[in-house]
Amino acid sequence: MADILINVIIAFLAGSLLLGLHRKIMARVQKRPGPPIIQHLLHSLKFFFKETAFPKTVSKPFYIGIVFILAAVWIVGVIVGPVTKNSLLILFGVYAIYKIVEHNSGSSSGSPYGKLSCVRAVLSAATELPLFAVIVLVYLKTNTMNIGGIISYQSVNGSLAVSIPLAALMFFLLLLTKSPYSPFAITKDKALVSGFETEHFGFLRGFIMFAESISWYVMLWIFLTIFFGHLSVVGYIIGMIVITFITSFINSVTPILNPNHSVMSQITIGAVCFVGTLIMIFI
Amino acid sequence: MDFVTLGGNLLGTISLGDIVLYVTPFSLFLFVVLLIFTLLIAISKTETQVEATFNKLGNTNVKVGLKEFKQRRFLSVICGIASAGAMITGDLFNFTLFMALIGILNIGIVSAVKQTSVLNSAYQYGLIAMMCSLPLFGGASIILASTGTLCLAILSQMHANPMVIFGAVLMLLGVIGESGVAPFFASKAEMFRTPGSPFIVIIHLSSLFIIVRAVEIFLLILW
């Protein structure tokens, strides 16, 4: 229990600081000073103490419950990943629920911005395909879904990033999609204000930001672990900072794609990488 | 391939003749999440959807009527229970039955809506779902004919012969069509424009979770 609590706190703090760093780098690339790196963490904590109001139009149990579900599923993500190193399939399920939260927090508010974000969340389920493909490819290569087993495989046979680089590229595409201000972030397009988060404020937004920080940490941890094996603490820190730097650089110089282009780009890149990796594994 | 390698440690089995239900952290997680969502659906009221009005400065509030609300809530709760059943079942035929039921219920949930675009979308999705029920059940039948069983516990220990692979491919086609995921989601997305947030969420949730479970089942059968 203490192990879970410590890991959740580490995930929240590290995720918040990495997202703060992400925002800082984006600002510096765009020749702005940007907020301090700690700003995302301060924002998350601040929202827990702000006054909360519920719009008249909301579907209440879902409007409130969905943010708790979001926080809970990413805590499950921490338990399945860094704590117990369990099955990758459960993490696939966790990510699927994240898509549902995007969908429902948008639609349950009654806001037209949230609603459009909800419809786009259905379209953006295309991001599930690269994740699904990566999990299958890793399984074909290592014969296990267990993260502990994948680490053991790499300690004997070397890093998966070297043997199946296109699968690593596909997973990186998923990280890029999840990162703030991504060219694929069609559910949070600024034309939709804040998309599915538009009508969530006060402690509800605090929970959303808490979950987003944990999710960023968990996704980076999974990527580094399943493609580079077990790293030291310093290795994880350096890896997470490098990936955050790369995604922030890409996001700061790339405009957001329209929904159709976003979905087709993801499916095309996913399909090419999937077929390429299959050829590398079997030939 | 065995359950443990895919879904984590085996927490228990429930043997019902040749149908063996099994519980792993993976299946338990999906099952519990679906029951939580089903409970939330059962107790939730719908939102009031605010829409812009043409040629006027005001907004239009779109609400779900009481009769429509009751119909859609009933179908959504059944859909949640069917999806939870599909997550925990250890029998291939039960999985296909749950899948077909989910497809029918998804159409039912939006068919009570009085919006032409939404009904058109539901109609197109219905056509795809109907067509895909043939490969769905056909695939399961071929697997039964070539192995003599539909029990996942036994199938997972068998070597996949070419007919099993053919059956699995047909089933995959059926699952994709019945759940309305890519490349069919283009028509299905329109269904989500209707108000009734607690009901439309189960359409999306059941589709995604069915795919997650289908991945496990196909890996069990084929490797």
Tell me the CA distances in angstroms from B186 to A6, A123, A124, B200, B204, one per residue in order: 43, 7, 11, 16, 13
The tens digit of pLDDT for each residue in A78-127 reads 988 888 888 888 888 888 888 788 778 777 887 888 777 777 877 776 66
pLDDT score of A16: 93
Tell whether the model's pLDDT for residue A132 goes beyond 80.
Answer: no
Ranges of each domain in chain A:
2-282
Residues of B in contact with A63 (CB under 8 A): 47
pLDDT score of B182: 61
Tell whether the model's pLDDT for residue A27 goes beyond 90.
Answer: yes
Distant-in-sequence, close-in-space partners of B190: CB < 8 Å, separation ≥ 6: B117, B118, B120, B121
| Chain-chain contact of B198 with A59 (C-beta, under 8 angstroms) | yes
Low-confidence ranges of chain B (pLDDT < 50): none
CA B75 – CA B68 distance, rounded (Å): 11
Structure-token match 């009527």, residue found: B65
Distant-in-sequence, close-in-space partners of B173: CB < 8 Å, separation ≥ 6: B132, B135, B136, B139
Beta bridge mates, A144: none
pLDDT score of A187: 77
CA A173 – CA A163 distance, rounded (Å): 18
Beta bridge mates, B12: B23
Please name the member of A86, A87, A100 whose beta carbon is closest to the beta carbon of B208: A100
By three-state DSSP, how is residue A186 classified? helix
CA A282 – CA B103 distance, rounded (Å): 36
For chain A, what percent of residues have pLDDT higher than 70?
99
pLDDT score of A234: 93
Tell whether the model's pLDDT for residue A70 goes beyond 90.
Answer: no
- Stated as kind and residue range, the H or E segment containing B52 is strand B49-52
Instruction: Give CA angle at A282 (A280, B1), nearest 5°.
Output: 120
User: HSE of B39 in the Cβ direction (CA atoms, 13 Å)?
Assistant: 9
pLDDT score of B65: 80
Tell me the CA distances in angstroms from B179 to A12, B187, B207, one per residue in order: 35, 12, 5
pLDDT score of A73: 87
Min distance B36 CA to chain A CA atoms (Å): 9
The tens digit of pLDDT for each residue in A155-173 reads 888 888 888 888 888 889 8
pLDDT score of A98: 81
CA A94 – CA A79 distance, rounded (Å): 11
Residues of A in contact with B215 (CB under 8 A): 89, 92, 132, 135-136
pLDDT band for position A38 (50/70/90)?
very high
Q: What is the pTM of this model?
A: 0.85
CA A67 – CA A88 distance, rounded (Å): 23
Please name the member of A87, A107, A118 whose beta carbon is closest to the beta carbon of B6: A87
Chosen from A122, A127, A142 to mutate, greatest number of chain B CBs within 10 A = A122
pLDDT band for position A138 (50/70/90)?
confident
pLDDT score of A126: 65
Residues of A in contact with B200 (CB under 8 A): 107
User: How many pairs of residues across A and B have Cβ atoms under 8 Å apart?
Assistant: 136
Residue of B220, B191, B219 whose CA lies nearest to B204:
B191
pLDDT score of A53: 81
Segments of B57-141 assigned E as strands? 59-62
> Residue B10 corresponds to which tokens in the numbers above?
């085996």
pLDDT score of B7: 67
Amino acid at B184: F
Please name the member of B6, B197, B198 whose beta carbon is closest to the beta carbon of A89: B6
Mean pLDDT over A130-145 rounds to: 82
Crossing angle between the packed helical segments B197-222 and B25-43, to the nearest 10 degrees: 160
Mean pLDDT over A249-271 rounds to: 86
For chain A, what percent of residues have pLDDT higher than 90?
24
pLDDT score of A236: 92
